[in-house]
Amino acid sequence: MIVGYKLDKIIKRGLLMKIAILDAITFGDTSLEGFNQFGDVTIYKKTSPAETLNRVKEADIIVTNKVIISKEIMIQSNSLKLICIAATGMNNVDLEAAKELQIDVKNVAGYSTASVVQHTFAMAFYLLEHSKYYDEKVKTKAYSKSQIFTDVSKPFYEIKDKKWGIIGLGEIGRNVAKVASAFGSEVLYYSTSKKNNNKDYTRVELDELLKECNIISIHAPLNENTKNLLNYKELDMCKDKAIVLNLGRGGIINEEAVAKIVDKKDIYIGLDVFEKEPLSQESPLFTVTNKDRLHLTPHIAWTSKEAREKLIDGIIKNIKQFLKDVK
């Protein structure tokens, strides 16, 4: 049975919608007042799987970042007309069911590119220049007690004239490549789809990229081509003192392999995304001895204030376009 909606009912209501925002905590301090123009807005900071149906079933429009919207939930939500995904990825919504049930689904693309690029370099430089070590050196007064004006106990290199490898040369990957090139790095890339042929940079196979590059950053989606793309064998191919960063999706780098390799090889790894989020308290990453070789951030690359504002603006534009189309 198709559970749709009648356009005349929408028109009679003057296009005033009931909107449920399901995981507003992910927007931080970004204003949500713009949604009020569309009707009755209910904001939930977080929504558990057990709470989802009750919060969705009376809504005309829902906004979700990570809350899963299944076919079963859609079937029981007779008023639901539009699902706004507060992200680019759409894997938390059953898209086939939405199409079958005549429920529109809209995402927001490109809002976080600048933020992710910036965080990529923040992670790279943190590891490259041993920022934690030197910060603690000063704050513990060890530097104050030293005999010289500087400290060269943790040498670092310049990225100028080094090779920067990119796995996934989409919009974010291309922008990382531009910045790396501006620093004087030679950019190589690996196409996870095997279809990307960018003439501005050198395309290589994965093994060559791992063996040749000083810094490697991942900006690819998680799919059958990228699941466990970098396991222990692949990480062990990397140069000594190489930096490997994952800002794509958790699961592209095997986390057990990461935990082992940083204790056995002089390699530095930065992860902003994890296979399970939030990161499990039993994660092997917490067992690492050489913690200075591992930099972890809680999936924040996308979260600059500007990116979150662009995201909200994008959702509001999607709702306006939907209502315009309905008229």
Which residues carry out catalysis?
A: 249, 277, 299
DSSP 169: -
DSSP 11: H
Cα 319 to Cα 230: distance, rounded to the nearest angstrom: 39
Cα 172 to Cα 112: distance, rounded to the nearest angstrom: 9
Q: Cβ(40)–Cβ(14) under 8 Å? A: no
Burial grade of 134 (CB within 10 A; 0-12, 13-18, 19 or more): middle
b (16+ CB within 10 A) / e for 10-28: beeeeeebbbbbbbbebbe
Query: Which tokens is 99 given?
Result: 């199409």
Cα 236 to Cα 252: distance, rounded to the nearest angstrom: 15
Query: Which tokens is 318 given?
Result: 């999607």
Cα 23 to Cα 52: distance, rounded to the nearest angstrom: 10
Among candidate residues 300, 260, 321, 291, the one with its CA nearest the CA of residue 115 = 300
